[in-house]
Amino acid sequence: MDYEIVVGLEVHAELNTRSKIYCDCKNAFGLEVNTQVCPICMGMPGTLPTLNEKVVEYAIKMGHALGCTINNVCKQDRKNYFYPDLPKAYQISQAEVPLCQNGKLEVMLDDGTVKTIGVTRIHIEEDAGKLLHDDSFSGSLVDLNRCGVPLIEIVSEPDMRSSAEAKAYLETIKSILQYINISDCKMQEGSIRCDVNVSVRPKGSDKFGTRCEMKNVNSFSAAVRGIEYEAKRQIEILENGGTVTQETRRWDDVKGMSISMRSKEDAQDYRYFPEPDLLTIVVDEKKVAELKDSLPELPNAKLKRYVQTMGLSRVDASLIVESLDRAALMDACVAIGKGSPKSIAKWILADISKYMNDTGKSILDTPLTAARLCDLVAEIEKGTISNSAGKTVFEAIIAEDKEVADIIAEKGLSQNSDTSALEAIAKEVLAANEKSINDYKNGKTNALGYLVGQCMKASKGKANPGLMKEIVTRLVNE
Amino acid sequence: MELYEKSAFELSEMLKAKECSAAEITESVLGRIGKTEASVEAYVTVCEESAREQAKKVDEMIAEGKELHPLAGIPIGIKDNISTKGILTTCSSKMLYNYVPPFNATVMNKVNSAEMVVTGKLNMDEFAMGSSTETSYFKKTKNPHDLTRIPGGSSGGSAAAVASGEAIVALGSDTGGSIRQPSAYCGVVGLKPTYGSVSRFGLVAFASSLDQIGPIGRTVKDVAMVQSLICGHDKMDATSKDIAYPDYAANLKNDVKGLKIGIPDEYFGEGIDAEVKDAVMETVKLLEKNGAEVRKISLPSTAYALNSYYILSSAEASSNLARFDGVRYGYRTENYDSLIDMYEKTRSEGFGDEVKRRIMLGTFVLSSGFYDAYYKKAKLMQKKISAEFSEAFADVDVIATPTVPSGAFKIGENMGDPLKMYATDICTVTINIAGLPAISVPCGKTANGMPIGMQLIGGHFREQTLLDAANAYESIVGGFGNIPKIV
Amino acid sequence: MNIDIKHIAKLSRLRIEDDKIEKFEKDMQSIVNMVEQLPDIDDTLTLDVNNAMKLREDVEVTDKYTREQLMKNAPQVQAGCLVVPKIVD
């Protein structure tokens, strides 16, 4: 039987605010253990939370980016459970009314097709601390620095049908977080984590199968591996006449397998109730609108525009979109309207990217403005300079901070595209090379290359090589 | 008359007139503690040394001619659930037997900046759960009027210290009557301020949506002085109300002409001792004779207040007290073989039975499948009760009721029966549920000589009205009497 | 409503001694019987827009406390960390 995979994702993203969500401790990663804490985030008796306004604003921005309804009147709730990394033994989160809900996200798959994934909700909550395990020590160590780091949890609908769709969704979410600059998105620091819900069902069925939730998925590639493993595991169970049990599983990326953590019966009873230490969150509707207006063009929309209206390939388009710098340069060039987008994209992805990789510089820190890149591409497209001369111009822009026209003139890089002038040169050269013409006519096709080379030489390298080849070919065949 | 017998206001005037020194006042109170504390057992921690130092500092400031707060140099006792930097804060629990906060509660910053003299930390029911101070892990505080009886609770140490002269004034906290009820039992004045008027930052939470810190004193003026000091918006407490707060003490009036007093039948029914009802009604008549207008009102949902209170307060408590797990502070069990084992043993050994009951009740009402039947219903009842009060306050300025149904009971009398104990809160919990201010003032004695309290309830942030009415009553009766002899 | 005291104790991370279970059960039962007596009210809970809180400005404050000050109350500390029994997860 053919099966269909059904995936839903819960993405946790740490927000890059200056201070923590409920206290004024610094929101920072990687500092010495238990030094970014205070009585509030350590859950000392008598301490109270105060909600960071930027956390609310950032979450609303993400809500807008994902087309959500913004609940500008909402509240926070306590999620109660005991664990050493959770000092208050409850996490302040949102249960009943999330800040944002009912959104959707368009993601472009590798083949260029666009798929819409429903976004159930986005809510704000606090991160927990970290447990450190050391084999040389009989206990576990607790570092509370991460306690109170602000998080948004983005919950999707079970709308994905493959690991590839899940990956595209995750990459799009990450890209949006970066575009609206609300998260550092450093996977290695755990600033984005996800829980994956997977179920399978016979193809064509409209009923969902029993799902398993997979925790501890720490990278997008792990999500792909986890989904594939989990789907295979579930299909095998069904194929062998078994039934999938609802449970929470833990993904072990090193071993490449998921392990059962707890069954539905052992599911935790979180005893949610309204957080009594905080009052109603009310965000002015004007502020909500302002936050919407503050959003830039989002990467998924940009990708769609690059592919569908500018004709870039899916791969080239996403390579540009994934970098804010590259995309900014691309858009500035397109706005100038000189040079074809495809050629501009090629320059951005080849020479410019190579230069940036080699030097570690940002495009914004070089004299290569959008206007100069457009000029450069336009001159090549017009045939004024050759591709290889273009590279020389590019290097000169960076090194000398000059205009394209000036560089071409100074270095004498312009090529001759005057058909009658080129014809005159060609006729002269051909007249002196009758032997080669005969060779060519007798089937030695490479003689043509020799002739074109001689013509180029005679033009002192300034002839447009394409045009020259065309002329020589015509003349010898006459 | 000894200095410890005087009111904060009188002492403040004497300090201003240089008729005594802050050191003398502090010595007088410490001396009283030395004499009666063995019998009353109001304190968990006495801060003799730091109190003396602080008094000396105040005297030096006076000598330098510095402008001082009216409460500078006045000894104050602090309930042991209010965080005091560098001073043990135990909540009268084994769980926090060794806990020394690294920070001050906002009210302590205010007390310290007014240069008051902190005499120590006062005994209470464990984590403020109880009505008799008998659930304290450390000691049983006695009622200064009869050492065989309870002082009430949970701020029993605060009320007993003030009543016995072991403190001039004190801070308590009130979640369901914990300031007013012991004040009534001990014959002193206790104010439960409007929810949101005094910062809760640093108050070890019992039920966050109901808890409020408030003052206890022997005169209404003293209570007004302390309330003026501790109230105010605090950005550390999101539930604190950002409005202008008056100087209650400076504005204090003492006439009740035209004051409209509401009398709700529901507070004078079954379960309230006849002598208590009579004492309260006589007081109301006295106020009427002095120009107040008295009218009957109705608060029909009062009967459900206790039910709602125990659901809401226990639910919040179960969550608030979950942090006591032996990891970051306080008690940790000695032998354990796993994390869960450590949690369970630490919490079972660290908490007393009453705290365990409330935690379990709270866990139960919030647990999967029961939320709507308990918590949500209680919240709806809270809404109804609040609406009834709002309606009542459209017609009256204050509402007068008994504070407690009877005089203080014998130590041990109600310990076996939680429901009987809970019933002593019947007149006070409603006020916390509605977030209103209420004051308890002494209004006579029972046949066996125990104080009776009258509760005056006001509209939100109408503390001035309550204090004015209580102050007028105090002047009419010529004060609330002397400190009892303690033998 | 009958309550399962052992389950509730487990959820609360409390352990009730066997000889105390009966008394706890009886007390809890009577308390639950009491609090249960609440009428159904035909009303809904709504968020109170007039009771909005002021949010905190996003400003970080560093060096408020030393680690030693904050860890002084901890029963067991090692290498600047709190210590708990080994977690096998």
Domains of chain B are 3-262+394-477 (3.90.1300.10)
Q: List pLDDT tens digits, range A213-259.
A: 999 898 999 999 999 999 999 999 999 999 999 999 999 999 999 99
In Å, how far are A164, A214, A217, C79 from A234, measured between CA atoms? 18, 13, 18, 44
Given this model, what pLDDT does residue A413 score?
82
**Considering CB atoms only, which of C54, C73, C85 is closest to B100?**
C73
Q: CA of B89: which chain C residue's CA is closest? A: C73
| Nearest-by-CA chain C residue for B333 | C75
B190 to chain A, closest Cα gap in Å: 22
**Burial profile C25-54: b = 16 or more Cβ within 10 angstroms, e = fewer:** bebbeebbebbeebeeeeeeeebeeeeebe
Structure token digits, residue A161? 């049908």
State yes or no: is B178 an active-site residue: yes
pLDDT for B196-216, tens place per residue?
999 999 999 999 999 999 999
Which residues in chain A have their CB less than 8 angstroms from residue C13's CB? Answer: 82
Q: By the 8 A CB rule, do A54 and A122 touch? A: no
What pLDDT shows up at residue A314? 92
CA distances B241 to A367, A454, C54, Å, are: 56, 90, 10
B153 DSSP β-pair partners: none
| Burial class of A276 by CB neighbour count within 10 A (0 to 12, 13 to 18, 19+) | buried
- pLDDT of C37 > 70? The answer is yes
Q: What domain range is C22 assigned to? A: 5-36
Cβ pair C40:B377 closer than 8 A? yes
* Residue C89 pLDDT: 57
In the sheet where A77-80 sits, what is the strand order? A90-93, A77-80, A273-274
- What's the one-letter identity of residue B8? A
B455 three-class SS: strand
Instruction: Please tell me which residue, C63 or A6, carries the higher pLDDT value.
Output: A6
Structure tokens of B279? 């004492």
CA distance B400 to B415: 29
What does the pLDDT average to over B414-433? Answer: 90
Q: How confident is the model at residue B245 (pLDDT cuts 50, 70, 90)?
A: very high
Q: Is the model more confident about B237 or about C34?
A: B237
B240 DSSP assignment: S
Q: What is the pLDDT of residues A138-148, one digit of tens each?
A: 899 999 999 99
pLDDT tens, residue by residue, B260-303: 999 999 999 988 999 999 999 999 999 999 999 999 999 999 99
Alpha carbon of A43: minimum distance to chain C alpha carbons (Å): 11
Q: Would you say residue C64 lies in a domain? A: no
User: Which chain B residues have a beta carbon less than 8 Å from that of A280?
Assistant: none
Bridging pattern class, strands A212-217 and A247-252: parallel
φ/ψ (deg, to 5) at A163: -65, -30
pLDDT of residue B358: 96
* B-C Cβ pairs (cutoff 8 Å, strict): 138
Q: How far is C44 from chain B (nearest CA, A)?
A: 7
Question: What's the mean pLDDT in A115-135?
Answer: 94
Q: Which residues in A lie closer than 8 A to residue B366 (C-beta atoms)? A: 80, 271-273
Domain boundaries, chain A: 3-290, 323-411, 419-477
**A114 in reach of chain C (CB within 8 A):** no
- Separation CA B5–CA B483 (nearest Å): 7
* Cα separation, B369 vs A359, whole angstroms: 61
Q: Which of A164, A16, A448, B328 is nearest to C77 (CA)?
A: B328
Residue B379 bears catalytic tag: no
Tell me if B371 and A276 make a contact (CB, 8 A cut-off). Answer: no
Is-contact C45 B233, C-beta < 8 A?
no
Q: Residue A423: its pLDDT value, please?
A: 86
Asked if residue C22 is part of any domain, the answer here is yes
Q: Would residue C16 count as lying in a domain?
A: yes
Is A18 in Cβ contact with C58 (below 8 Å)?
A: yes
State the burial class of residue A371 (Cβ atoms within 10 Å of its Cβ: 0-12, 13-18, 19+).
middle
C-alpha radius of gyration, chain C, whole number = 23
Residue A466 — pLDDT band, cuts 50, 70, 90?
A: confident
In-domain check, residue C28: yes
DSSP code of residue A279: -
Query: What DSSP letter does each residue of chain C carry, written as one string?
Result: ----HHHHHHHTT----HHHHHHHHHHHHHHHHHHH-----S------GGGBPPPBP------SS-HHHHHTT-S-EETTEEEEE----
**Which position among B83, B164, B178, B440 bears the catalytic label?**
B178
Is the distance from CB of B28 to CB of B75 less than 8 angstroms? no
Q: Is the pLDDT of residue A44 over 90?
A: yes
Q: Tell me whether B97 touches chain C (CB under 8 Å).
A: no
**Is the confidence at residue A460, as pLDDT, over 90?**
no
Measured between alpha carbons, how far is A459 from B347 in angstroms, rounded to an integer?
94
Mean pLDDT of chain A: 93
Whether C24 and B383 have beta carbons less than 8 Å apart is answered as no
Angle at C74 between CA C72 and CA C77, to 5 degrees: 95
Contact B82, B33 (CB under 8 A): no
SS3 A20: coil
Is A270 a residue whose pLDDT tops 80?
yes
**Cβ distance of A269 and C11 shorter than 8 Å:** yes
CB contact under 8 A, A48 and B200: yes
- B447/C contact by beta carbon, under 8 A: no
In B49-152 the beta strands, taken as DSSP E runs, fall at 75-79, 117-122
CATH number of A419-477: 1.10.10.410
Block residue for tokens 């905080």: A278
Distances (CA, A) of A363 to A166, A179, B445, B473, B475: 32, 17, 86, 80, 82
Q: How many beta-carbon contacts under 8 Å exist across A and B?
A: 101
Residues of A in contact with C46 (CB under 8 A): none
Q: Is the pLDDT of residue B471 over 70?
A: yes
Total count of domains within chain C: 1
Q: How far is CA B474 from CA A344, B189, B283, B450, B471, in A?
A: 88, 10, 11, 18, 5
Helix (H, G, I), strand (E, B) or coil at B294: strand
Give catalytic status of residue B154 as yes or no: yes
- The torsion defined by the Cα of B24, B25, B27 and B32, in degrees rounded to 10, comes to 140
Kindly state the DSSP code that residue B303 receives in the 8-state scheme: G
Residue B337: its chain C contacts at CB < 8 A? 85
Kindly state the tokens that stand for A179: 């575009």
| pLDDT band (50, 70, 90) for residue B398 | very high
Residue C9 lies inside a defined structural domain of this protein: yes
Q: Say whether C83 and A139 touch across the interface (CB within 8 A).
A: yes
Residue C46 forms part of a structural domain: no
CA dist., res. A3 & res. A198, Å (int): 13
pLDDT, average across residues B225-238: 98
User: Residue B325 and residue C13: Cβ atoms within 8 Å?
Assistant: yes
Q: In a mutagenesis test of the A interface, which of B126, B318, B320 is the best target, namely the one with the most A β-carbons within 10 Å?
A: B320
**Mean pLDDT along residues A335-355:** 92
Question: Distance between CA A423 and CA A404 in Å, rounded?
Answer: 28
